[in-house]
Amino acid sequence: MTDVMHIVLDETAMTAAGQGNVLASRLIHRAHAEAGWYLYAPACALVEADRARPGTAEHLAAMPGATVLDLDLPAALAVARQASWAAAHSQFAAQPTADRPDGAVIATTAPKRWQDEPVRVLDLNP
């Protein structure tokens, strides 16, 4: 078991953080303050979060503990096959990579959305 945590915020988690969700705030704090905690904001999810709650993108991008994930070619190809770019980019970001061999957990306030998807989920609902 490793102490490293990789967490992808979907757009619902991003808007929840901006609305004072305690669990989302704790994740953000841990990613900033503790070694081995990594928080990712996929660009497509960031756009959707900002549409739902203007100012979210700038706020999250300015946080030292959050890494904005660009829409590179492999991500764009994965996103192009899906109806929701935000969910597709979040799911793509959660898949295993060389840097994250176990993948990442998706933090969300809409866990049912991910029910039939091959991802691990962290429910941010109180």
pLDDT of residue 55: 95
Whether residue 40 contacts residue 67, with contact meaning beta carbons closer than 8 Å, is answered with yes
Prediction pTM value: 0.93
Coil, strand or helix at 121: strand
Note the pLDDT of residue 2.
60
Q: CB burial class (10 A; 0-12, 13-18, 19+) of residue 100?
A: middle
76 by Cβ neighbours in 10 Å (0-12 / 13-18 / 19+) ranks as: middle
Q: Could you read off the pLDDT tens digit of each residue along the chain, which spans 126 residues?
A: 468 999 999 999 999 998 999 999 999 999 999 999 999 999 999 999 999 999 999 999 999 889 999 999 999 998 888 888 999 999 999 999 998 999 999 999 999 999 999 999 999 998
